[in-house]
Amino acid sequence: MTNCLIMPTFDLKQIVSVTMILFAIIDILGSIPIIIDVRRRVGHIESEKASLTVLALMIIFLFLGNELLDIIGLDISSFAIAGSLVIFFIALEMTLGIKFFKEEEISASASIVPLAFPLIAGAGTMTTLLSLKTQYTMPNIIVGILLNTIVVYIVLKNTQRIEQLIGKTGLEVLRKAFGVILLAIAIKLFRSNTGL
């Protein structure tokens, strides 16, 4: 009975898809210049604290996001459509290099604000999590969240090394490539929740 409930819910294809979608929306590699700037301003970033905060925020919103929507009288499909539009504009920012969203100022408490929230686990990430629930099963989303948290931790620990290894041009190419992927994801989410 337990095997019937647990085993079919884990799907490698879904896990890879969720992981790639979250990786693109979190855009931790594209945030490296901002992270370096934060580190320069405050002297030290607590990578463990920031990563655990990101994990907690994403898991809590994944489970309680629907309840929050119920309180304000919205259904998941409506939120997914709104999410697809947010993702679409984020993707346009990444690919075209234009700014739609106002950047938050950097504060002194860097490990939590603005690093964990809103830079890493911001509105785009939260919107994406609820949108993903319309397409993927919960266990696969959780695995995707855990894998992305590990990537976030590794990047935070090795920001300067990664920047030297990839270079600014490499980071820009990655950002634009993930922007195109996000555009396709946004269109897919919009179509699947509007019936187009």
What pLDDT, in 10s, does the model give residues 15-42? 999 999 999 889 888 788 778 767 777 7
Q: Is residue 104 part of a domain?
A: yes
Question: Please, which pLDDT band fits residue 104 given cuts at 50, 70 and 90?
Answer: low
Helix axes of 47-72 and 76-96: crossing angle, nearest 10 degrees: 140
Which of the residue ranges 51-55, 100-104, 116-120 would you say has the lowest mean pLDDT?
A: 100-104
Q: What is the pLDDT of residue 101?
A: 58
Q: Is residue 2 part of a domain?
A: no
Q: How many domains does the chain have?
A: 1
Question: Please, which pLDDT band fits residue 7 given cuts at 50, 70 and 90?
Answer: low
Average of per-residue pLDDT values in the chain: 82
Mean pLDDT of 167-191: 83
Q: What is the pLDDT of residue 33?
A: 74
Residue type, 133: K
Tokens describing residue 36: 């370096």
Query: Is 92's pLDDT higher than 90?
Result: no
Q: What is the pLDDT of residue 2?
A: 46
Q: Is residue 141 part of a domain?
A: yes
Q: Is residue 5 part of a domain?
A: no
Mean pLDDT of 122-151: 91
Question: Please, which pLDDT band fits residue 12 given cuts at 50, 70 and 90?
Answer: very high
C-alpha to C-alpha distances, 18 to 8, 113, 129, nearest whole angstrom? 17, 25, 9
Q: Is residue 4 part of a domain?
A: no
Q: What is the pLDDT of residue 107?
A: 52
CA separation for the pair 153, 141 (Å, rounded) = 18
- The verdict on pTM exceeding 0.85 is no
Q: Is residue 112 part of a domain?
A: yes
Mean pLDDT of 144-159: 95
Specify which of 27-36, 88-97, 138-147, 164-173 reaches the highest per-range mean pLDDT: 138-147
Q: What is the pLDDT of residue 1?
A: 45
CA separation for the pair 169, 106 (Å, rounded) = 24
Q: Is residue 6 part of a domain?
A: no
Q: Is residue 78 part of a domain?
A: yes
Tell me which residue range forms the domain holding 21: 12-36+48-194
